[in-house]
Amino acid sequence: MQILVLNGVNLDVIGRRDPALYGGLSLNELERRVYEWAHALDISARCRQSNSEGEFIEWIHDAYADVDALIVNPGAWSHYSYAIRDALELLQVPVVEVHLSNITEREEWRRTSVIADVVSHRVIGKGPEGYREALEFLAGKTSVE
């Protein structure tokens, strides 16, 4: 099983953002954990991050042919990018939306995710462990909520 893990805008600097919200890990550390968790689940993961919305969308387009599942944290794009939503909607593989922080209990504008209804599963507010839960979901180790 080949899984693509896409982190979007400003996720490259999570190590410098509020640790109470984002867990305090650098992106490198987070990605290292993702690779370890994926290895333990016997799945193959590839992590990528971009601050360019166009590049991010190209990767989603490529995922159509190349991967078995996608984990996506678009960062602030989650709240307003209909372009990312349209790209995700094209995918026929399972997509899990992850947010490190609990966007449902933060500022009003963060409570809306424009991708929420085009994903298969959502993991919100569980910090870096949320990526593990997403991998487990995709590996079929947990039941669908």
CB of 126 to ligand DQA, least distance (A): 10
Enter the tokens of residue 103.
């966007």
Neighbours of 105 (CB within 10 A): 10
Enter the tokens of residue 126.
């569980």
Work out whether 101 is an interface residue with ligand DQA (CB under 6 A): yes
Instruction: Give the ranges where the chain is alpha helix by DSSP (H).
Output: 19-22, 27-40, 53-66, 82-89, 129-138
Work out whether 73 is an interface residue with ligand DQA (CB under 6 A): yes
Q: Are strands 44-49 and 2-9 parallel, antiparallel or unpaired?
A: parallel
Work out whether 76 is an interface residue with ligand DQA (CB under 6 A): yes
Work out whether 81 is an interface residue with ligand DQA (CB under 6 A): no
Question: Which of 31, 60, 88, 99 is close enough to bind ligand DQA by CB under 6 A?
Answer: 99
CB of 77 to ligand DQA, least distance (A): 8
Q: Is 39 a catalytic residue?
A: no
Nearby residues of 41 by Cβ (< 8 Å), 6 or more positions away: 135, 136, 139, 141
Work out whether 116 is an interface residue with ligand DQA (CB under 6 A): no
Give me the catalytic one of 39, 64, 82, 99: 99
Q: Is 79 a catalytic residue?
A: no
Beta bridge partners of 41: none
CB 5 within 8 A of CB 133: no
Determine the interface stretch with ligand DQA among 45-53, 75-83, 88-96, 132-140 (rule: CB under 6 A). 75-83
CB of 62 to ligand DQA, least distance (A): 22
Give the amino acid at 71: I
Chain positions contacting ligand DQA, by CB under 6 A? 10, 73, 75-76, 78, 99-101, 103, 110
Residues that are catalytic: 22, 99
